[in-house]
Amino acid sequence: MRSFEIPDHYRSGLIGRVKAHRKAQDPRKKDLSPTLLDLGPVRFVLARHFGFCYGVENAIEISYKALEENPGKRIFLLSQMIHNPAVNDDLVARGMRFVQDTEGNLLMDWDELTADDIVIIPAFGTTLETEARLKEKGIDPLRYNTTCPFVEKVWKRSDQLGDQRYTVIIHGKAVHEETRATFSHTVRKAPAVVLRDMAEAELLGRIILGEEPLETFERVFRDRASEGFDPARDFDRVGVVNQTTMLATETQAIADHFKQVMLRKHGEADLKAHFADTRDTLCYATNDNQDATNELLKAEADLALVVGGYNSSNTSHLVELLEQRFPTYFIKDEAEILSAETIRHFNYPAHKLETTKDWLPVARPLTVILTSGASCPDTLLDRVMLRVLDLVEGAKDPVAAVEELVG
């Protein structure tokens, strides 16, 4: 896999060295066991996979390249390039502006854009409608297009399903940029509907089997279905794709569920004519990070710190996994660790910041799981680790400990 040119201030001298060491030891990713970094009174358990993925590094490289190649020009980010405030804030500090927020609401007058402006498409991609509006302005939306190749892979698979007359069921969050983009690309060729989770998949399955009235579809799914969608007609042949940052295991479970629904409705002999196997749309980085996080669940630890942007879907799912077993705190950076007594963290389901007292156990040694989402720079994990070390007396020098670990 190719390497990218990203700014040095995103590269880590501590966590990054551990990651590089593990990659050199295990280039084929066969070993998902975490790494233990022992600093005496505090020990960090690091996931095998975390941090910047291929798509994020690609997006960062393109965005900073746009800055270098266009001195003096106005450069706009269509929306947040990735869901990490440190990266987006750095780009804004260098003169970039946002056209819209992550839900597609304009943050400026569209008419302010001119053909001389540069507009960068985010890693999540964008809708065909937005691309058309940019072209009308004389702006080439593909000149600096940072859409993740794995998102584009989902679009290509959706196109194939449409060509084969399948309806596309999209597992995702309907307001998320990536899901909106995937929906837009999909409906060119296929009927489509978006569902959020297994509960909605089960409800849709009952509608398909006639166990729920079609009125239920109108009430629950109409505003997430393509124009003219007819549930009595359009569920004859189905395939499932996903927003690539969803829980991969849930997407697969949803696909498996619809396979069983179509098996019940049409029988084994006709199954392939009514259900398309689409497991190849699952993102490798999402899979790797979630598999590595599942491995963390086998560790013995006092708590878990998950670092990432609070609007990061893939990060929220790591939190969801870890909080099954550990007190887990979702933080954007080291500034959220206010003291040994108090931490500020994000409650993703409630979409609000919370403050927790007595979060750091007093017993030693203290064992902390540390990981991050796919859009989080490793430097932020360095800073979080150093902030925890500030709160624990007698810890070893982390530079020396990393040097000893990697040899």
Both 330 and 248 in one domain: the answer is: no
Both 160 and 277 in one domain: the answer is: yes
Distance CA 255, CA 257 (A): 5
Distance CA 116, CA 122 (A): 19
Buried b (16+ CB within 10 A) or exposed e, 70-103: beeeebbbbbbbbbbbbbbebbeeeebebbbebe
- Torsion sign, CA atoms 371, 373, 374, 379: negative
Phi-psi region of 302 (alpha: psi -120 to 50; beta: other; left: phi over 0): alpha
End-to-end CA distance of the chain: 25
Which CATH number characterizes residue 331's domain?
3.40.1010.20
Tokens of 188: 């060119």
Both 113 and 228 in one domain: the answer is: no
Are 324 and 375 in contact by the 8 Å Cβ rule? The answer is: no
Would you list the DSSP string of 102-153?
A: TTS-BSS-GGG--TT-EEEBPTT---HHHHHHHHHTT--TTTTB---HHHHH
Both 292 and 382 in one domain: the answer is: yes
Tokens of 44: 């960090």
Residue 143 lies in a domain: no
Distance CA 143, CA 103 (A): 23
Are 100 and 46 in contact by the 8 Å Cβ rule? The answer is: no
Both 361 and 322 in one domain: the answer is: yes
Instruction: Select from 136, 167, 186 the last residue of a domain.
Output: 136
Distance CA 127, CA 185 (A): 7
Tokens of 124: 């999540």
Which element (helix H / strand E) includes 319? helix 313-322
Residue 312 lies in a domain: yes
Q: Which residues pair with 56 in a beta bridge?
A: none
Distance CA 146, CA 57 (A): 10
Distance CA 186, CA 193 (A): 10
178-231: pLDDT as tens digits: 999 999 999 999 999 999 999 999 999 999 999 999 999 999 999 999 999 999
What phi, psi does 38 have (nearest 5°)?
A: -95, 115
Buried b (16+ CB within 10 A) or exposed e, 155-172: bebbbbbbeeebbbbbbb
Both 202 and 307 in one domain: the answer is: no
Total domains, the chain: 3
Cβ-proximal residues to 218 (8 Å cutoff; 6+ apart), any chain:
none
Query: Shortest CA distance to 91 belongs to which of 107, 76, 70?
Result: 76
Residue 231 lies in a domain: yes
- Structure confidence at residue 1 (pLDDT): 61
Both 45 and 13 in one domain: the answer is: yes
In a structure prediction context, what are the per-residue pLDDT tens digits for the chain, which is 407 residues long? 678 899 999 989 999 999 999 999 999 999 999 999 999 999 999 999 999 989 999 999 999 999 999 999 999 999 988 889 999 999 999 999 999 998 889 999 999 999 999 999 999 999 999 999 999 999 999 999 999 999 999 999 999 999 999 999 999 999 999 999 999 999 999 999 999 999 999 999 999 999 999 999 999 999 999 999 999 999 999 999 999 989 888 999 999 999 999 999 999 999 999 999 887 677 788 889 999 999 999 999 999 999 999 999 899 999 999 999 999 999 999 999 999 999 999 999 999 999 999 999 999 999 999 999 999 999 999 999 999 999 999 999 999 999 999 98
Side-chain half-sphere of 313: how many Cα atoms within 13 Å? 21
DSSP 8-state code for residue 275? E
The number of beta carbons lying within 10 Å of the beta carbon of residue 389 is 17
Q: Which residues pair with 11 in a beta bridge?
A: none
Say what the pTM is.
Answer: 0.89
* 112 in active site: no
Instruction: Select from 282, 311, 332 the last residue of a domain.
Output: 282
DSSP 8-state code for residue 210? T
**Catalytic option among 178, 250, 320, 336:** 178
In which residue are the tokens 């990432």 written? Answer: 308
Task: Quote the domain boundaries for residue 68.
Answer: 54-136
What phi, psi does 137 have (nearest 5°)?
A: -80, -5
240-260: pLDDT as tens digits: 999 998 988 899 999 999 999
- Structure confidence at residue 280 (pLDDT): 64
Both 324 and 382 in one domain: the answer is: yes
Residue 3 lies in a domain: no
Residue 22 lies in a domain: yes
Both 290 and 244 in one domain: the answer is: no
Residue 19 lies in a domain: yes
Distance CA 251, CA 172 (A): 9
Both 229 and 268 in one domain: the answer is: yes
Residue 251 lies in a domain: yes
Residue 44 lies in a domain: yes
Are 242 and 233 in contact by the 8 Å Cβ rule? The answer is: no
Instruction: Select from 136, 168, 198 the last residue of a domain.
Output: 136
Both 292 and 395 in one domain: the answer is: yes
Tokens of 166: 């399948």
Which CATH number characterizes residue 126's domain?
3.40.50.11270
Both 272 and 171 in one domain: the answer is: yes
